[in-house]
């Protein structure tokens, strides 16, 4: 029986030990090993071993609805929920994010007005980039003239080229150059086709709920949207698609 236990012990170390070395050498993963009581035969039990991806890219989003006269009607900040994200926004400059995001959004309105005459669809895709904050702006126009604007800011990721990789503004929704263009992850590349499709689905779902809110007899056109139901549904759409 003792020999069987020794064989099992050696077998366990052969399988698990290489992962512990990988965890120590890689900044992207951490190895969680449960400790056993001091009187354990081998002093360390490997019966529980979990690899956690702690540095997976997580995008931060700031979504706002503007009236035809550029009056803010609704805004919300959230983070990536796909791929294990916790849905919490982590902007690069958190102390000024509330005001900086509004500034970036409004600074893209001139480009949005130009883009709406060159793009016949409601979803205008990526229209502007603000390099100092690595922020990307995506737009959606409603028939009533309200504008949906989504600012998405990727996390700090190492760049092999040493450049910011932020492309110029795109009036027709072109992708633009980025150091993360090789990745198809929604949280890693804000202008990839996968991201644009996910944002389109998000915008469409928000638009459906916006129409329902605007048709309410208790809502007057141009009023700030304070409905907790609408906010909950926007949050749910973000978790579903982004």
CATH code (residue 223): 3.30.450.70
Measured distance CA(6)–CA(4) in Å, rounded = 5
**More confident of the two residues 180 and 104:** 104
Residue 196 has phi, psi (to 5 degrees) of -60, -40
pLDDT at 125 exceeding the cut of 90: yes
pLDDT at 15: 47
40 and 83 together in one domain: no
> How far apart, in whole angstroms, are the C-alpha atoms of residue 37 and residue 22?
25
Q: Among 53, 74, 90, where does a domain finish?
A: 53
Q: Are residues 107 and 225 in the same domain?
A: yes
Locate the DSSP E strands across the chain: 29-33, 49-53, 60-66, 72-79, 123-130, 135-141, 147-153
Please, what is the angle between helix 97-107 and helix 109-118, to 10°?
Answer: 40
For tokens 């409004």, name the residue. Answer: 106
Judge whether residue 12 has pLDDT over 60: no
Instruction: Please tell me whether the overall predicted TM-score, pTM, comes out greater than 0.85 for this model.
Output: no
161 pLDDT exceeds 60?
no
How many Cα atoms occupy the beta-carbon half-sphere of 237 within 13 Å?
23
Q: Is the pLDDT of residue 206 over 60?
A: yes
Of 37, 53, 69, the residue that ends a domain is 53
Residue whose token pair is 């509330």: 98
Q: What is the DSSP letter of 83?
A: G
Residue where the block lists tokens 């951490």: 30
DSSP state, residue 156: P
Among 154, 163, 235, 162, which Cα is nearest to 192's?
A: 154
Same domain, 41 and 129: no
Mean predicted lDDT score pLDDT of the chain: 75
185 shares a domain with 65: yes
The answer on 14 and 109 residing in a single domain is no
Indicate whether 126 pLDDT > 80.
yes
User: 3-state class of 212 per DSSP?
Assistant: helix
> Are both 38 and 72 inside the same structural domain?
no
Neighbours of 61 (CB within 10 A): 23
82 and 186 part of one domain: yes
What pLDDT is recorded for position 155? 78
pLDDT value for 119: 83
Q: How many domains does the chain have?
A: 2
Instruction: Decide if pLDDT at 178 tops 90.
Output: no
Task: Give per-residue pLDDT as tens, 214-223.
Answer: 999 999 989 9
Binned at pLDDT 50, 70 and 90, residue 154 comes out as: confident
- Residues 106, 182, single domain; the answer is yes
Residues 43, 85, single domain; the answer is no
Domain co-membership, 12 together with 119 = no
Are 196 and 173 in a shared domain? yes
70 and 21 share one domain: no
Q: Would you call 109 helix, strand, or coil by DSSP?
A: helix
- Is residue 60 within 8 A of residue 91, CB to CB? The reply is yes
pLDDT band at 185 (very low <50, low <70, confident <90, very high): low
Q: What domain range includes position 195?
A: 60-241
Percent of the chain clearing pLDDT 90 (strictly above): 49
Give the H or E element holding residue 77: strand 72-79
Please tell me the distance from the alpha carbon of residue 30 to that of residue 38, in angstroms, as a whole number: 24
């Amino acid at each position: 029986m003792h020999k069987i236990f020794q064989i099992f012990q050696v077998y366990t170390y052969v399988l698990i030990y290489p992962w512990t070395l990988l965890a120590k050498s890689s900044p992207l993963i951490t190895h969680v090993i449960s400790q056993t009581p001091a009187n354990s035969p081998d002093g360390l039990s490997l019966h529980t071993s979990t690899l956690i991806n702690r540095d997976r890219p997580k995008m931060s989003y700031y979504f706002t609805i503007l009236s035809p006269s550029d009056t803010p009607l609704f805004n919300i900040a959230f983070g990536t929920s796909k791929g294990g994200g916790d849905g919490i926004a982590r902007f690069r400059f958190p102390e000024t994010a509330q005001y900086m995001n509004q500034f970036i959004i409004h600074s893209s309105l001139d480009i949005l007005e130009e883009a709406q005459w060159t793009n016949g669809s409601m979803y205008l895709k990526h229209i502007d980039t603000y390099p100092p904050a690595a922020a990307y702006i995506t737009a959606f126009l409603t028939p009533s003239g309200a504008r949906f604007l989504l600012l998405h800011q990727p996390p700090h990721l190492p760049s092999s080229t040493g450049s910011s990789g932020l492309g110029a503004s795109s009036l027709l929704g072109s992708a633009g150059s980025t150091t993360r263009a090789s990745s198809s992850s929604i949280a890693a590349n804000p202008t990839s086709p996968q991201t644009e499709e996910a944002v389109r689905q998000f915008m469409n779902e928000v638009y459906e709920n916006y129409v329902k809110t605007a048709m309410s007899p208790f809502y007057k056109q141009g009023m700030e949207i304070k409905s907790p139901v609408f906010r909950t549904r926007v949050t749910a759409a973000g978790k579903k698609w982004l």
